[in-house]
Amino acid sequence: MSIQTGGLLRVSHIPLSQIRRPIAPVLDYQKIDAMVSTLKGTPQASKTCTLEDATAMNSELPPIDVLCVRDQGETYYFAFGGCHRFQAYDRIRDQTGEEVQVRCKLIPATKSQLKLYVGSSIDDMFP
Ligand SMILES: Nc1ncnc2c1ncn2[C@@H]1O[C@H](COP(=O)(O)OP(=O)(O)OP(=O)(O)O)[C@@H](O)[C@H]1O
């Protein structure tokens, strides 16, 4: 999704607890460690990020593309990428015991568009 949304959408901050992540990630724990260091203000390089880039992020990570679906007056958030950044945010939440705001680019989507990603599981996703 980033190729399409790069530079197009505004960055929003959405509470981590409100973002659903339907697909189980395959993880590189060294990358997560480096991202956690960046979020804590001590930038660290990883396989996908030079120390220079991590330092330029200034204690932030690039925003994650999040689908935003409106249904019966409520807004629901779904993410299919950003698995390592989410794990880094998860870890910060676990360490602080507090809600964490996730930097996101919100992509408005319909339920039918979401169904393309989750198939029949869509029936479990809305009340
Ligand atoms: N240690 C780090 N500090 C700051 N930024 C980082 C760090 N490691 C990676 N990034 C940046 O975070 C972005 C996402 O990295 P990457 O694709 O490896 O992880 P991801 O969160 O699992 O995302 P996706 O699932 O979409 O691939 C990239 O722009 C990368 O440059």
Write down the ipTM of this complex. Answer: 0.96
Q: Is 91 annotated as a binding residue?
A: no
List residues bridging with 76 in a β-sheet.
Answer: 69
- Its pTM stands at 0.92
Mean per-residue pLDDT, 9-36: 93
**pLDDT score for 20:** 96
Strand, helix or coil for residue 15: strand
79 within ligand 1 shell (Cβ under 6 A): no
Structural domain range at position 13: 2-115
Any domain includes 120: no
| Cβ contact 68:75 at 8 Å | yes
CATH at residue 8: 3.90.1530.10
Residue 125 lies in a domain: no
Q: Determine the residue of 84, 89, 90, 102 to mutate for testing ligand 1's pocket, defined as the one with the most ligand atoms within 8 A of the Cβ atom.
A: 84
What pLDDT score was predicted for residue 61?
Answer: 95
